Structure 1
Amino acid sequence: MLAGLGVVIAIQLVPLPPDIWTTLPGHARFAEAAVVTGLEQPWRPVSLVPWLTWNALFALLPALAILVGLWGTNPRQREKVIAGFLIFLGISILLGIAQVAGALNGPPLHYRFFAQDSAIGFFANRNHAAAVLATGFPVLRLWSLDAAPGGGSGSKRRIFALIAALVLLVMIVVTGSRTGMLIGFASLAASLAMAPIDELGKKLDPRKAWLIRLAVVAVPVLVVVLLILFGKAVALDRIVDDDLLAEQRVVYLPLLLDLMRNFLPFGSGFGTFDPVYRSFEPDWAITTKYLNHAHNDLLELMMTGGIPGLAVLGAFLLWIAARLWRTRKDSRRPETISVRAGAIMAAALLGASLTDYPLRTPIAGVVLVFACWLMARPLFDMKPPAENKGKGRSSSSAPSYFGSGGRR
């Protein structure tokens, strides 16, 4: 599917004869440039700004690099990859804490103008930062279950995962991203539901175990309440204080819908939103701020990529649905946990893309590839337990998810 997206972008760079190009929806007004200058209509590609479409094509390279790297991992390396992702989130959180604490006389990155006293970590946008942080909940849940059954390491992992999840939740709320907060809560709830939580306190008295499971749900709510009381819930404050109907995303929506319809079904070219939008921008929409993206990647995809781009997205969503459908029967299987974790990560990033453009950043794009790897990973190297017998390691003592690669 990554290759399919690359092909769709590359096709938009193929020059077309004038008779075809001038009949493309939305392109006729740009044909006037040749008429005004007295030149013959040249051969031109679908993309109205080819160099930006070339940029979009080469922007797939980070995702391709990670895809190739993950494809070559063995079962022992897989757990290290997951731990590495969690470490990356931890470093981003520490960087965000330093930013809101005023370290180095301001955010310790070059994105001071965009930070706006928010914990943005490695990103230049609080919405992007919150979206990526929200993908940490399913990975923590997956990692907490990835331990030898009956071993003490499982309990330690679950305790650490619960604490880390609370830290993630606090940082998401502190970023100030309204969409990120909603996506974060949804991701946390889905992560708890992606596998039975009866492993929490299963060795305790049933009444005490019930209290522990209740605390898993109640404590996050309590943390958010405390953030509100201490005035640190920036995202909630923005929801309450801002006039959502006056939000630029809402005000410009009719204009963006018209722009999208003008260029269907072939699009204006990947990466061309900014210059194309400015050529259609009405006087009332001109302000001291410019609209660099549609802040709704579904609309922008349809405008710039047309029906072919939408078809790639549709195929991607169908693949996710097919992977989830195949793991519907047993919620305890390692394959099921892995697929659901990846699906929740992808859903968080795609959901955040409805009000912003996180997947246009290299880091978030790489995280999406990581999520796809978790969903596709059960397709490879899954050997039945019988094949592991007689090799000095019984299937019962093997790590339950990534260490052995065996089915249970």
Structure 2
Amino acid sequence: MRHLTWLAGSASFKQLALLLIATFLMGGSTRPDVMSLIVLRPLSVLIFACGCWTLRHEQWRQAPFLCSMAVATTALLLLHLVPLPPVLWQSLPQRMTIATLDHAAGLGVVWRPLSMAPSLTWNALFALAVPLAVLVHGLQLSHEDLRRLMVLVLVAGAISVLLGFMQMLGDADTGPYLYRLSSRGTAVGLFANRNHQAVFLTTLLPMLAFLTTERDTLARHRGRTLFLLFAAVAVLMVILLLLGSRAGLVCGIFGLLSVAIMVRLRMSGMRERPHWIGTAVIIGFSIVAILIVIAVASGQATSVRHALNSSSSDDLRFLVWPVAWRSALVLLPWGSGIGTYQPVFQMFEPAGMLRSTYSNHAHSDWLEVVMTGGIPGVVLLVAMVAGFGGALRLAWQRRRLSGTALAWTGLVIILLCGIGSFADYPLRAPIMSALFVLACLWVRTGLDRRTLHDSGVPQHQAGSSNDLRA
């Protein structure tokens, strides 16, 4: 019954739960012209303002890295929107093309910002409202409240799976798709893009492993919970095979490994570990593997067929990446401005790549950040990777402590999002950006010394506060 009382909690918990529900319903697309953003973004700004009003000084001081990254990212976007003197912005790479157009249009001397498409950078700035609102409210929540939000995410995942089945069984033109421009004919669920749905489903795997291997749950329903875990993992893996997303398939493999590792670590921490646990894990994952083999052998594994049958010349992203990389080098050191990929890429796009469709993103967020953010964007990426590495090292040192299970869950989700971003842009969907921040909060609270102490861990084993701030 504890999971059914997730609505009980502080005002910050209720506001954050409301925001997450709205985000799952209206934040599955990355396009700036989606009508649902008219509701979602003002709601996010309002909830963000309420969170800033109630956020106490000691709360944001306990998460210096997360707050610093949030401030630095916001500051970078704001700097890209500050109007600059004509002499200054015209000296930047590729800006003379814009100056020539200004002269031809008779605009005269114009002060322009660093961004080559300010309206798109403004859109990127507004898109930060959802993850920032999640952050300021998440910092005010307890360990238990943050853990309960995981149940809400899993419920949304179940709805996305069910909606995906309805989309697969229905007509591609009249099916229950939430967005007009969607990957029609595939089980995109709450999303508009099948790759984003696939990455989202893989993030459910570590959450399922965390909740089903909790000490209280195992003490009461060991066999039932492990059976439900393996059944859910099997369903998710089969859906990933049917989605046709290669990025999702790769993330699914890592997610499947994370489930096995997390189950093993959680079981090893039990004082009275049943002798049949190892056998159950082996049998469970053998069943999952058999289902995957059946899906592949029957020809229904669209992701596998897509990976085997697609050549580099057939996939647009393999044509886009070299052009995007060359343009990124030309636009150094400041980039073209966050969110400006589409019009800027068209300036560098060779005639041989012209077709009826257009490249809306680089299909590699790591590369797109370098292109649009320049060296400051690279610095933010390096800081993010360094922070992840530090948290991973600390979690590994404390892997035997029961309180770090939540941190491991968050780390796996961050890793899956990072892997998915190598060949796509899942974090640009509001749902995934909110989930990413939630994962960061799970890592922080899972490594918190007070959390470990409250979980029954001796305080001298929990490490120093300096380790937590690293």
Change (3 A) 1:285 1:383: closer
Offset of 1:317 from its aligned partner? 1.4
- Matched residue, 1:18: 86
Q: 1:73 aligns with which of 141, 146, 150?
A: 141
Which digits, 9 at most, give the CA deviation of each residue in 1:360-402, with x for residues without a partner? 11011111011111111135572565x79xxxxxx69xxxxxx
Q: Is the 8 A contact 2:165 2:187 kept in 1?
A: yes
Q: Distance in 1 between matches of 2:187 and 2:123?
A: 29
Deviation at 1:68, TM superposition (A): 2.5
* Partner secondary structure for residue 369 of structure 1: helix
Corresponding residue to 2:297 among 229, 234, 242:
229
Give the alignment partner of residue 328 of structure 2, picking from 254, 260, 272.
260
Q: What is the CA–CA distance in structure 2 between the aligned matches of 1:40 and 1:196, rounded to whole Å?
A: 68
C-alpha contact (below 8 Å) 2:167/2:175 kept by paired residues: yes
Asked if residue 96 in structure 1 is aligned to residue 164 in structure 2, the reply is yes
The 1:38/1:288 distance shift into structure 2, 3 A limit, reads closer
TM-score normalised over the length of structure 2: 0.76
Compare 99-108 and 319-328 and name the one that shifted more: 99-108
CA RMSD of aligned residues (A): 2.5
The Cα shift of 1:332 comes to 2.9
Identity %: 30
**Please, which runs of 5 or more residues in structure 2 have no aligned partner?**
1-68, 458-470
Q: Which amino acid aligns with 1:55?
A: N
The 1:74–1:317 alpha-carbon spacing in structure 2 relative to 1, beyond 3 Å, is same
Q: Distance in 2 between matches of 1:301 and 1:44?
A: 21
Of the three residues 345, 354, 377, the one matched with 1:309 is 377
**Letter of the structure 2 residue corresponding to residue 189 of structure 1:** L
Tell me the equivalent position of 2:99: 31
Find out whether 1:47 has 2:47 as its counterpart.
Answer: no
CA spacing shift, 1:381–1:373, aligned 2, 3 Å: same
User: 2-side partners of 1:93 and 1:129: how far apart?
Assistant: 9
Partner of 2:361: 293
Point out the more displaced range, 315-324 or 99-108.
Answer: 99-108
CA offsets, 1:274-316, max 9 Å, x none? 1111233222111011111111111111111111122112211
Q: Which runs of 4+ in 1 moved over 6 A?
A: none
Question: Quick check: 2:208–2:229 contact (8 Å CA) kept in 1?
Answer: yes
Could you tell me how far 1:343 is from its partner in structure 2? 1.3
Aligned ranges 1:56-71 → 2 under 5 Å: 56-71=124-139
Quote the residue 1:331 is aligned against: 399
- Aligned: 1:356 with 2:424: yes
Classify the secondary structure of the residue corresponding to 1:370.
helix
Q: How many residues align?
A: 387
Give the partner amino acid of 1:280.
Answer: F
Q: What letter matches 1:323 in structure 2?
A: A
What SS does the corresponding residue of 1:279 show, helix, strand or coil?
helix
Q: Could you tell me whether the CA contact under 8 Å between 1:17 and 1:43 is conserved in 2?
A: yes
In the superposition, relative to structure 1, how do residues 147 and 83 fare at CA in structure 2: closer, same or farther (>3 Å)? farther
Counterpart residue number, 2:188: 120
Of 311-320 and 333-342, deviating more is: 333-342
1:365 aligns with 2:433: yes
**Relative to structure 1, is the Cα distance of residues 214 and 282 closer, same or farther in structure 2, using a 3 angstrom cutoff?**
same
Distance 1:6 1:273, change over 3 A: same
Tell me if 1:246 matches 2:346.
Answer: no
Distance in 1 between residues matched to 2:152 and 2:122, nearest whole Å: 32
Distance in structure 2 (CA, Å) of the matches to 1:217 and 1:128: 25
Q: For residues 4 and 334 of structure 1, do their structure 2 counterparts lie closer, same or farther at Cα, with a shift above 3 Å needed?
A: farther
What 5-or-longer segments of structure 1 have no aligned partner? 389-394, 397-408
Instruction: Please tell me whether the aligned partners of residues 172 and 184 of structure 2 are also in contact (alpha carbons under 8 angstroms).
Output: no
What corresponds to 2:151 in structure 1?
83
Structure 2 CA distance for partners of 1:174 and 1:40, relative to 1, 3 Å? same
